[in-house]
Structure 1
Amino acid sequence: MTMKITTLYVYPIKALRGIQLQSARIGPQGIAYDRTFMLFQVSEPNEELKKMQVDSHPQCALFEQQLSDGVISVQYHGPEIEHRDEQPLSVPLTPNTATLSTIKVNLHGSAPSSAYSMGSPYDDWFSARFGFPVKLVYIGDGKRTVLGDTLPPKRQQPAAHAKGGWLSSLTSYVNGKGEEEKPWITFTDVAPLLVTSESSLHDVSDRLPPDEPMPMYKFRPNIVVDGEGEEAWAEDLWAELTINKKHKLLLTGNCVRCVSLNVDYETGKPAVGELGSVLKKLMKDRRVDAGSKWSPVFGRYAFPVVLQASQGENFELRIGDEVEVTKRNTERTVWDWPGL
């Protein structure tokens, strides 16, 4: 049965609140501009950079971001009186890297990637609100390696379609030099896209009081489908989705979950009551990935099939687009990202 896309999210600055979209351009690195910026805590005295994500820095949930005219507008919703009713911070969506200093960033064990430090006034603005030194980093032309044996999509031989030949399983793409380029990612965790279903969200909400349903935004997906005709957790075995009968996503791994699910986005702290125990509730029956046996699973990581990235062969997704499961695995995939 055909499902539909119900929500699209992009996160230009990783770990801050997501932005809902009506449509999104999809390329080899997922939704355009997704997680091209990231915040790092600067630890003294060696100025070591520590990644900032919602699980380790729940205050990130207090920052709202919006896109307009090539600018990311960041608004802080913290409780501090001195920061109320302030003007939002404006961050250029595509900064001029010629004016920025380069740094090395190591995220989730990928080989240290080149990135750019945005400097003042951006670092100062975030540091004042977090209460400790913070650095805003831009990925620019940096490329993070996709690790492991199971998460990177496999290069397969061309397959013939019933209506003509096409490369249905080509997951790497051709660069400007006519050479095949291996998949790489920005500051996304381990893959370009994260897909979740409303059916599974309903199962999570059924574990909570009726007046406290679980919001999807806490799972931080990129693409949400309604799950029509699919039971809760059916996505555990999804291997390929086809959108509008032509655009394909290869689903290669499970998303294993952490304490970020328990964060209250209104306070920037662990939630109280039942909403503060969502992770524990999922631990009871959702530890279904043998490669990460202590973490519950919700959602699947995906790689878009994009053939000619250098020639703009990306595609657009919209709310309401039709989604079909065109391949299913017979066994669950096993989490494999060295050191994570």
Structure 2
Amino acid sequence: MNSTSRCQLGGEIFRKLDNGIVKIMILSEINIYPIKSLRGISLQTAEIDDRGLKNDRRWMLVDENDSFVTQRVLPRMSLIDVAIDARGLMVSCDGFGSQMFELEPEGAVSRPVTVFSSTVPGEFYGDAINEWFSDVLGRRLRLVRMPASSRREVSEKYRLRDSDIVSFADGYPFLLIGEASLTDLNAQLAEPVGMKRFRPNFVVKGSEPYEEDRWRQFRIGANTFYGVKLKGRCVVTTIDPATGTVAGKDPLLTLSKYRGGVLDGKRGAFFGQNLIAEAAAGTVSVGDSVEVDIYHDPPVEMDRK
């Protein structure tokens, strides 16, 4: 019988077997971003549900037109911390104190809100929390929650089933990046950047640089996932999450030079893999093994790999 014990050599993780050792990959980070485009929360264990990780991007700020707002237009959103527990959510920002609000708005008014090309129901919160966000960000904003009855469908081209839905995330239930991919990118930058610039749900240790591009079917612990579309990056990657300001053209400029390509007729710079889970339930934990069952070539021809 093979042993399942692990050892670490030179920063890489191996599993001891009866006939030797093999290199393995593990889940090294789990992150959720309860309110779209605000700071994330790192977890040791997370639950999977029908639209991603539990409490990931289930809340969102909207403008006067009930359309979503992100760091793309308000970089200071990156300065707002979020905490969540059974009592509710707490948001805080230096100089503005903190504000707590319930997970589900009491007596909420529901009306359509827009996220990119999707229009779905949103439950609106009251004046107190809206005024706090407006003060911090200098613009009239309102907080909305995605009710359980909302059905925002994954793109027909990339979904696995008609039942695949997503939260207020850009387009897919999960985003994964390998640690080695960031290490490779940083080797090409004048100033290295942290993983927070890219806002992944899952970070994997032990893979080769950009290996996740080719993962069609793989497992994290007992959960099966499918890589469905490479993640096209935008100006959010140029925002320093510590200062809430644009820090220059990198890493987006450098990514565009060697990770640029065309997907769906649009040119982009790609970093990370969007995922869909096989089941709408399950649990993932930091330290879970990551094992690839099927590799494929993604439908993007990079300018230079």
| Category of TM-score, reference length = shorter chain | 0.7 to 0.9
1:268 aligns with 2:268: no
CA separation in 2, counterparts of 1:287 and 1:293? Answer: 10
**1:67 Cα offset (Å):** 1.8
Partner residue, 2:10: none
Q: What's the counterpart of residue 254 of structure 1? A: 230
Matches within 5 A, 1:267-306: 267-272=243-248, 276-291=249-264, 293-306=266-279
Is the CA contact (8 Å cut-off) linking 2:36 and 2:70 kept in structure 1? Answer: yes
Residues 52 and 167 in structure 2, CA contact (< 8 A), matched pair in contact too: no
CA contact (8 A) 2:105 2:124 kept: no
**Corresponding residue number in structure 2 for 1:222:** 201
Q: Distance in 2 between matches of 1:242 and 1:289?
A: 28
Counterpart secondary structure, 2:273: strand
Q: TM-score, normalised by structure 1?
A: 0.77
Matched, 1:27 2:55: no
Superposed displacement of residue 223, structure 1: 0.7
Once residues 292 and 122 of structure 1 are traced to their aligned partners in structure 2, the CA distance between those partners, rounded to angstroms, is 41
Q: What residue is the counterpart of 2:173 in the other structure?
A: 192
Asked if the contact 1:287/1:293 (under 8 Å) is kept, the reply is no
Task: Could you tell me which runs of 5 or more consecutive residues in structure 1 were left unpaired when the two chains were aligned.
Answer: 43-47, 78-82, 156-171, 173-181, 336-340
| Matched-pair identity in % | 28
1:235 matched to 2:212: yes
Deviations 1:195-247 (Å, cap 9, x if unpaired)? 111010101111224xx421101101101101x1x321111111111122x31
1:94 is displaced (CA, Å) by 3.5
Q: What TM-score, normalized by structure 2, do the two folds share?
A: 0.86
Cα RMSD over matched residues? 1.8
Q: Distance in 1 between matches of 2:264 and 2:25?
A: 29
Q: Quick one: distance in 2 between partners of 1:122 and 1:103?
A: 18
| Whole-angstrom distance in 2 between the partners of 1:93 and 1:225 | 30
Matches within 5 A, 1:33-52: 33-42=55-64, 48-52=65-69
CA distance in 2, matches of 1:286, 1:70: 43
| 2:153 equivalent in structure 1 | 145
Give 1:100's aligned residue. Answer: 108
Deviation of the 1:288 alpha carbon: 3.3
C-alpha separation between the residues in 2 aligned to 1:280 and 1:287?
10
Q: Secondary structure in 2 aligned to 1:204?
A: helix
Shift of 1:2: 2.4
- The answer to whether the 8 Å contact 1:258/1:279 transfers is yes
Task: Supply the distance in 2 between the matched residues of 1:117 and 1:50 (Cα, whole angstroms).
Answer: 13
Shift of 1:293: 4.4
CA contact under 8 A between 1:253 and 1:334: conserved in structure 2? no
- Matched with 2:137 is 130
1:70 aligns with 2:92: no
Structure 2 residue ranges without an equivalent (≥5): 1-22
Residue 146 of structure 1 deviates from its aligned partner by: 1.6
1:73-117, CA deviations, whole angstroms, 9 ceiling, x for partnerless residues? 11113xxxxx35x2x111222344xx011111121212x211111
Aligned residues: 278
Q: Does structure 2 conserve the Cα–Cα contact (< 8 Å) formed by 1:146 and 1:152?
A: yes
Q: Is 1:320 matched up with 2:295?
A: no
Mapped contact 1:117–1:135 kept (Cα < 8 A) = yes
Q: Structure 2 CA distance, aligned partners of 1:105 and 1:183? A: 20
SS in 2 for 1:72: strand
Q: What's the CA shift string for 1:225-284, capped at 9, x where partnerless?
A: 01x1x321111111111122x310111111100011110122211015xxx421001110
Structure 1 stretch displaced more, 63-72 or 183-192 = 63-72
